[in-house]
Structure 1
């Protein structure tokens, strides 16, 4: 599993959601289906699905916000109704692997970041991009924000 630090700039058009962190695993795929149905409304879109998550800061932080959408190739001035345009540029630690292994990927990346001396930025969104593979499998690329 390759891990590295990158500076990345994302441009996204997506739908905002919020709820209990415990429900993200079911609520985010539902929002992704809405994006898939409405993708034709998004100008300059790529085929890459993306989600941005508010990080869970501590055990008492029970609810958070997230965005689910598509990466766009250029600034979008006309955003479809009910959607948001977001740009984020940040330093991240990143890794990629099978989506079925997502929990382990997150924990391994967090552990590696700590070992490397990177300090997590809990004020910035965690980013995940989704990549269909052969045999109907999917890979996820995880970006954990860090302080520069």
Structure 2
């Protein structure tokens, strides 16, 4: 697992949803499939799927918000109904790997970040980008926000 710290900007068009953190594992992919059915409505998209997540603050924080969408190459002049344009620019620690190992990727990245002395920024969105490899395989890149 190759972890690193980077500064990254994301520009994307997406749809916001809310739900229980415990259900994100099933609800986010479902929302992404619904969103992708409308992908042709978004001009200048780069073809890369993205999801951003409100971080869970503590054990009493049961519900959160998230966006699913597509990265865009430029600021859209006209947004499809119900969609938002979002730009994020942040310091992140990141790792990329098999989407079936997403839990391991998150926990390994958190462990590595702590060992390197990076502190999580609990007020910034967690970002995931999705990269199909063919043959039904897909990789995910996880970006955890840290303080600069």
Provide the TM-score with structure 2 as the length reference.
0.98
* Deviation readout 1:108-141 (Å, 9 max, x if unpaired): 0000000000010010000000000132111000
d(CA) in 1 for partners of 2:106 and 2:57? 15
In 1, Cα distance between equivalents of 2:31 and 2:97 = 22
- Counting only pairs closer than 5 Å after superposition, residues 1-148 of structure 1 correspond to structure 2 as 1-148=1-148
Q: Distance in 2 between matches of 1:144 and 1:68?
A: 17
Instruction: Give, in whole Å, the separation in 2 of the partners of 1:3 and 1:91.
Output: 13
Gaps of 5+ in 1: none
Distance in 2 (alpha carbons) for counterparts of 1:19 and 1:36: 19
Which ranges of 4 or more aligned residues in structure 1 deviate by more than 6 Å?
Answer: none
SS in 2 for 1:133: strand
Residue 25 of structure 1 aligns to a residue in which SS?
helix
Calculate the aligned-residue CA RMSD, in Å: 0.7
Query: Following TM superposition, by how much is the alpha carbon of 1:77 offset from its aligned partner in structure 2, in angstroms?
Result: 2.7
- Structure 2 CA distance, aligned partners of 1:99 and 1:139? 5
Give the count of matched residue pairs.
148
CA distance in structure 2 between the partners assigned to 1:8 and 1:77 by the alignment? 23
How many Å separate the matches in 2 of 1:111 and 1:89?
A: 23
Once the two structures are TM-superposed, the CA of residue 34 in structure 1 deviates from its matched residue by 1.5
